[in-house]
Homo-oligomer: A and B are copies of this chain.
Amino acid sequence: MTKPENPPVLILIDLQEAINDPKWGPRNNPDAEDKLRHLLDGWRLLGGPIVHIRHNSTEPASPYRPDQPGNAFIAEVVPLPDETIIEKQAHSAFIGTNLEQHLRNNNQASLVLAGVLTHNSLEATARHAGDLGFLAHVVADASWAVETTDFSGKLRSAEDVHNLSLAHLDDEYAKVIDTAEALALLTEKAG
């Protein structure tokens, strides 16, 4: 008998009050917090593994700094006392952390990534995960991007930024899925 594949680990990225700072500009996916709540409820109910990534910025003006109120997790995803929190200072959650070792020690090859911002820490982590050989999934409707001025000066909507980032990831570094598909993946393995 082959050992059944372990349930996917839910990895929530940088979901801290700092992301609500108006400085980031308009975002897409206003329902993403509800989707995150559904994901977390599902993972908790079925006992799926969970990792919360907390960003501790070292930039002088960042609301993500550990000494700022923005460092706190947003209400929808506050970790329970027994859940794993991994703190990072870079964009990719694999840099300067024990995330890779944590996943390998627990034989967790399948990852479900959600959080913020799609095109920044989420994308950096998803690229890194795929390159390290993990089976990474990115939950499109439980993540969001922000409006961005591109290098030519053209304003690009948050929705456009989100959708181009997902296209770069999909089938190249990760599989892009939605919340319902993420919960189905978990149920298959843990139900």
| A residues apposed to B, CB below 8 Å | 90-92, 95, 119-120, 123-124, 127-128, 130-132, 140, 148-152, 154, 156, 159-164, 166-168, 170, 172-173, 176
Contact = CB atoms under 8 A, between A and B. Distances in A.
Given A90-B131, A173-B91, A120 B151 contact: no
A71 to B, nearest CB: 19
A181 to B, nearest CB: 14
Given A148-B167, A154-B163, A156-B164, 6 more contacts: A150-B160, A150-B163, A151-B162, A151-B163, A152-B159, A164-B164
Tally of this chain's copies? 2
B95 A131 contact: yes
A164 B161 contact: yes
Contacts of A172: 91, 120
A123 B176 CA distance: 19
Contact of A151 (B124, B140, B156): B140
A150 to B, nearest CB: 4
Nearest to A127: B124
B140 A167 contact: no
A131 B124 contact: yes
- 7 nearest A-B residue pairs (beta carbon): A151-B166, A90-B131, A150-B163, A151-B163, A95-B131, A152-B163, A150-B167
Contacts of A140: 151
Contacts of A170: 151
Residue from the set A95, A123, A154, A167 with the largest chain B CB neighbour count within 10 Å: A167
Nearest to A140: B151
